[in-house]
């Protein structure tokens, strides 16, 4: 449909808490398709509506070409393992920089599809990391907030140099 402009760091909209989606209509389906197109153009493996300035709880993930894109409306984490893992993360809203973050290794989440139907899903490893990263974003937590102050400051300086 359309590649939309990305909201980029340090835009305060990246710390917005997204509103619950209540209308399951053509506009939501169009927004989901625009998110997929924008994510692929970025490129990235996950994106939220907040990344394009729309404060709704909508996530698109495409973790592998074989699996294809998945759409999650109003996702929430129901359970998280005590076991953790470290994985390198970044953001389509802060291209060119990444850092390792520790998160639960497994989660169970609940979400709705584009018709409003509820689903539950288990995720482990990379998929669990991606879900947590995007749900954090919906909750107004930009991924940098998961870093120590020192790592965060270094990463921001690196990002500012990249932007020129």
Q: Where are the domains of the chain?
A: 12-163
Q: What percent of the chain has pLDDT over 90?
A: 98
Average pLDDT of every residue of the chain? 97
**pLDDT beyond 80 at 91:** yes
Q: Which two tokens stand for residue 90?
A: 């970044």
CA dist., res. 107 & res. 94, Å (int): 26
* Active-site residue, selected from the candidate residues 120, 134, 153, 160: 134
At residue 8, the pLDDT reads 96
Q: For the whole prediction, is pTM greater than 0.85?
A: yes
Query: pLDDT band at 129, cuts 50/70/90?
Result: very high
**pLDDT beyond 80 at 70:** yes
- pLDDT tens digits along 27-68: 999 999 999 999 999 999 999 999 999 999 999 999 999 999
Residue range 12-26: mean pLDDT, rounded: 97
CA dist., res. 97 & res. 144, Å (int): 11
Name residue, tokens 């490129």: 43
At residue 164, the pLDDT reads 81
Q: What percent of the chain has pLDDT over 70?
A: 99
CA dist., res. 119 & res. 102, Å (int): 26
What is the domain class of 12-163 according to CATH? alpha beta
Q: Is 134 a catalytic residue?
A: yes
CA dist., res. 2 & res. 41, Å (int): 10
Name residue, tokens 């924008």: 38
* Cβ contacts of 110 within 8 Å, gap of 6 or more: 75, 76, 78, 118, 119, 120
Pairing, β 84-89 against β 70-80? unpaired
């Amino acid at each position: 449909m359309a590649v939309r402009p990305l909201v980029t760091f340090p835009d305060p909209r990246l710390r917005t808490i997204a509103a619950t989606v209540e209308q399951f209509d053509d506009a939501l389906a169009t927004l989901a398709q625009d998110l997929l197109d924008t994510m692929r153009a970025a490129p990235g493996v996950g994106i939220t509506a907040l990344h394009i300035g729309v404060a709704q709880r909508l996530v698109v993930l495409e973790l592998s070409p074989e699996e294809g894109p998945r759409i999650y409306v109003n996702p929430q984490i129901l359970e998280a393992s005590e076991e953790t893992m470290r994985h390198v993360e970044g953001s389509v809203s802060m291209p060119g920089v990444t850092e390792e973050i520790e998160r639960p290794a497994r989660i169970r989440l609940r979400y709705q599809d584009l018709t409003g139907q509820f689903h539950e899903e288990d995720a482990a490893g990379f998929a669990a990391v991606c879900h947590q990263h995007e749900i954090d974003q919906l909750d107004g937590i930009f991924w940098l907030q998961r870093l120590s102050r020192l790592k965060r400051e270094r990463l921001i300086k690196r990002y500012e140099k990249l932007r020129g």
